[in-house]
Amino acid sequence: MKSTQLRLGNLVRLTTDPTCIDHVLILEPGQVHLESGNDFEDEGNISGVVLREKIIGMYGIPANSWFYLGGSRIYIGIAQGRSHAQLHIDKWMFHVRYVHELQNIAFDLTGQEIITHPNILSPYEGQ
């Protein structure tokens, strides 16, 4: 996965250790530093986390029901056996497969992080 597809705080996994799901802490051209890592990972060793109800539920995000984020009405439709989920944000609808896609689209349209992390600050909050 290209590092240019990611933002700080995105959930990704290591290709060499698919059980390791982690947050992006630092991005450099061609390299990604994960929160639990001691070194940068080559972007070729980073892959997306497939969007599943269990994964987003760990972060308190409901699936298959409407909720609000930053004043926008959101619905994440996840059906068993489908290769993608449907993301509805107000009048827009997207097909998303990975959690980082959900995070990026939600932030772009609402200005709010759908998954927050205490060790990763948004540069847009003036902190």
pLDDT in tens, 73-104: 999 999 888 889 999 999 999 999 999 999 99
Distance CA 50, CA 98 (A): 4
Distance CA 75, CA 31 (A): 32
Confidence of residue 123 (pLDDT cuts 50, 70, 90): very low
> What mean pLDDT comes out for the span 18-43?
91
- pLDDT tops 70 at residue 125: no
Instruction: Please compute, for residue 107, the number of CA atoms within 13 A of its CA located in the half-sphere on the CB side.
Output: 17
